[in-house]
Amino acid sequence: MDLEEIKAPTGERWVTMANALARAGHGLTLAEKRLVMLAVSKLDSRRALNAGDLPKTKITAAEYAESFGVKANASYEALQGAAKDLYKRSITFFEPAHKRSGQPLKPLRVDMRWVGRCTYHEGEAWVELAWWPELLPALFGLKKNFTTYQLQQATALRSAYSWRLLELLTRFKSTGWAEYDIEDFATAMDATEKQRGDFAAIRRKIIDPAVKELNEKDGWAIQWEPVKAGRKVKAVRFTFERDPQGRLL
């Protein structure tokens, strides 16, 4: 059975996903990230699906323009471009593997699509996403171990890195601090293979610009530091709080 999701005002939309999905590598450009998370914000994450349910979500260019403050022509182009490439994008999960002879094995890498079908209607300027079936447990029937934030928090961001950092920190909003193993962090932030071997590049290209944009555009106060084992950076630790002047978390 196909399910059409209910439209809600942009300011009232919440993005909710399982923690495992929040910390996975999303592999999305900013335009694709906007499209996917706008679609996620239209889902009812509390609803449990029945066997055979195949949810799909429609996004119009007008919704995209309103949500992200872009002009109509730019919205049409962004929606069309994102729809064209989204089917090829993969989410990257790393799952613990069993031990062998008492020794831990490397984690299992799992790549999964966001959508099983992506339909774009150029004449009417809308895109319809049919969610990938194996992804559904990370989006529906969520009662615990999930990350949630208001879509409006991310609408002014101009970097996918900033958006990903917002999600990683929001997961720990109750404590005000978060620490990520450097490999897990690099995966979640979609760092390139070259960047993974050069922490200075991760700092320069990913962390510093993302922290700066969140501080300036979304009312965060973020501090961070590398956690070292000898000379090697093994993790990154963030302490953060939100602007008390009314910005929503």
At 92, give phi and psi (nearest 5°). -115, 115
Instruction: Compute the distance between CA of residue 72 and CA of residue 191 in angstroms, rounded to an integer.
Output: 32
Structure-token pair, residue 243: 């602007």
| Residue 244 pLDDT class (50, 70, 90 cuts) | low
pLDDT for 28:
96
Q: Taking the model in full, what pTM does it have?
A: 0.88
At 24, give phi and psi (nearest 5°). -75, 165
At 104, give phi and psi (nearest 5°). -70, 140
At 143, give phi and psi (nearest 5°). -120, -20
Domains in the chain, CATH or no CATH each: 1-155 (1.10.10.10), 156-249 (1.10.10.10)
The residue-averaged pLDDT of 169-184 equals 94
Averaged pLDDT score across all residues of the chain: 90
pLDDT for 108:
87
pLDDT for 11:
55
Structure-token pair, residue 240: 């953060």
pLDDT digit string (tens) for 29-57? 999 999 999 999 999 999 999 988 999 99
Instruction: Compute the distance between CA of residue 147 and CA of residue 168 in angstroms, rounded to an integer.
Output: 9
The residue-averaged pLDDT of 149-173 equals 95
| Residue 130 pLDDT class (50, 70, 90 cuts) | very high
Q: Are 232 and 220 in contact (CB under 8 A)?
A: no
